[in-house]
């Protein structure tokens, strides 16, 4: 695809992990401006619907191995079957469909599975430091309950989508998107995960679904990312290709 040739992706895994770390850091500082009600011990968002990329799965594996919990992870995965993901389309595919004015039906988008996340222990995330972007992007101005959904600023939602697209883009040279446990099953080569049909190949950014007033906010974040991450080219290319001033 032409866009992938124009917007480079770091080839080595270590550089991809550096880039992901920069993305997490810039995002964490940016969301400090929102008076979110989210507090430790609130786990309303912690369900098995959280999806991620295989790169984020590698970060979780690094963290789990680094804390000597390899067997613990295998036991967690043994309790949940592969094939959790209900999504049939990635975020970048969804963005591409919207940019081409194509409708995406509910079945393709997948539904919610409210089963608690396997990493929730005593209401606390047991892999908090390595949690994927899907978890980091949770946020609400009001405390969520069974009867009330999260409330977020539109710009917060827009930036969440852009950052999800970037993370998928960085994986689009062979990585996958899927439910968190499906990705982890595939990475540890679980014997009960012998098919990859539930893993969606990550796609390059086709463009962004931004309102004109949101573009400047995202441009500023990309400039920060370019400053944090040693390979400035990728974010400059994304601005030049998709957000010309």
* Pick from 233, 229, 202, 225: nearest CA to 91: 202
Q: Which residues bind ligand SF4 (CB under 6 A)?
A: 46, 50, 117, 119-120, 125, 127, 131, 135
Which residue lies nearer to ligand SF4 by CB, 7 or 177? 177
Burial 108-125 (b: 16+ CB within 10 A, else e): eeeeeeeeebbbeeeeeb
Query: What's the residue count for the chain?
Result: 245
Nearest approach, Cβ of 123 to ligand SF4 (angstroms)? Answer: 9
Nearest approach, Cβ of 225 to ligand SF4 (angstroms)? Answer: 23
The pairing of beta strand 124-125 with beta strand 120-121: antiparallel
Nearest approach, Cβ of 127 to ligand SF4 (angstroms)? Answer: 6
Residue 37 to residue 119: CA distance in whole angstroms: 22
Nearest approach, Cβ of 210 to ligand SF4 (angstroms)? Answer: 26
Which residue lies nearer to ligand SF4 by CB, 94 or 119? 119
Which residue lies nearer to ligand SF4 by CB, 50 or 80? 50
* Pick from 127, 167, 154, 150: nearest CA to 27: 167
Which residue lies nearer to ligand SF4 by CB, 131 or 156? 131
């Amino acid at each position: 695809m032409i866009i992938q040739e124009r917007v480079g992706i770091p080839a080595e895994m270590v550089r991809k992990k550096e880039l992901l770390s920069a993305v997490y850091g810039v995002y964490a500082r940016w969301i400090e401006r929102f008076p979110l009600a989210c507090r430790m011990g609130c786990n309303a968002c912690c369900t098995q619907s959280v999806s991620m990329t295989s790169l984020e799965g590698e970060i979780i594996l690094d963290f789990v191995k680094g804390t000597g919990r390899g067997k613990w992870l295998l036991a967690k995965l043994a309790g949940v079957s592969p094939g959790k993901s209900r999504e049939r389309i990635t975020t970048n595919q969804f963005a591409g469909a919207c940019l081409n004015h194509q409708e995406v039906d509910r079945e393709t988008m997948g539904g919610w599975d409210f089963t608690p996340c396997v990493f929730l222990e005593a209401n606390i995330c047991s892999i908090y430091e390595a949690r994927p972007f899907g978890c980091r992007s949770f946020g609400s101005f009001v405390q969520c309950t069974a009867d009330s959904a999260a409330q977020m600023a539109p710009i917060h939602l827009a930036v969440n989508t852009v950052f999800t697209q970037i993370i998928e883009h960085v994986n689009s040279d062979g990585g996958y998107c899927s439910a968190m446990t499906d990705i982890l099953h595939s990475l540890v080569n679980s014997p009960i995960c012998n098919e990859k049909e539930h893993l969606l190949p990550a796609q390059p950014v086709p463009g962004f679904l931004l309102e004109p007033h949101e573009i400047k906010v995202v441009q500023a974040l990309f400039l920060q990312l370019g400053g944090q991450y040693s390979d400035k080219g990728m974010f400059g290319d994304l601005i030049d290709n998709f957000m010309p001033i």
